[in-house]
Amino acid sequence: MKEIEEKFIRSRGKGGQNVNKVATCVVLKHLPTGLIVRCDKYRSQAQNRNEAYRLLEQKLQQREEQKIAVAKAKLAKERRQKRRRSRASKEEMLAGKKRQSQKKTLRRKVAWE
């Protein structure tokens, strides 16, 4: 694929001479998104390559699901904001405003005549 850059490097950790001499670690970079996946789980380059592609596919799928979830949340928020208030809710809001204005009028300075 043209949108995936593949690189093979030497692994680290257990594996002895094979790990030290052979480039068994696979690094995949998905160019459109910039996602990087590194796999050096196995001693075989082929196994690591398969695992790396599987991990990259999982990450891409996860990213897509996250985008969909964010879009759904945004739509739900807009729907809630546009929803009309119930009569009881409006009356409660107006009563609160009335109480607040009464408090403010009581705080005013008294004019002495």
Which residues sit opposite 38 in a β-bridge? 27
Would you state the pLDDT for residue 1? 57
pLDDT in tens, 48-67: 999 999 999 999 999 999 99
Q: Residue 21: its pLDDT value, please?
A: 82
Is pLDDT of 77 > 60? yes
Least confident piece of the model among 8-12, 17-21, 51-55, 93-97: 17-21
Cβ atoms of 9 and 25 closer than 8 Å:
yes
In this model, does residue 36 exceed pLDDT 80?
yes
Given a cut of 70, whether residue 105 has pLDDT beyond it is: yes
Contact of 58 with 30, CB cutoff 8 Å: no
Q: Does domain 4-99 have CATH number 3.30.160.20?
A: yes
Per-domain boundaries in the chain: 4-99
What's the pLDDT band for 85 if we cut at 50, 70, 90?
A: confident
Tell me how far apart the alpha carbons of residues 89 and 55 are, in angstroms, rounded to a whole number.
50
**Inter-residue contact 13 to 31 (CB < 8 Å):** no
Alpha-carbon gap, residue 85 to 55, rounded angstroms:
47
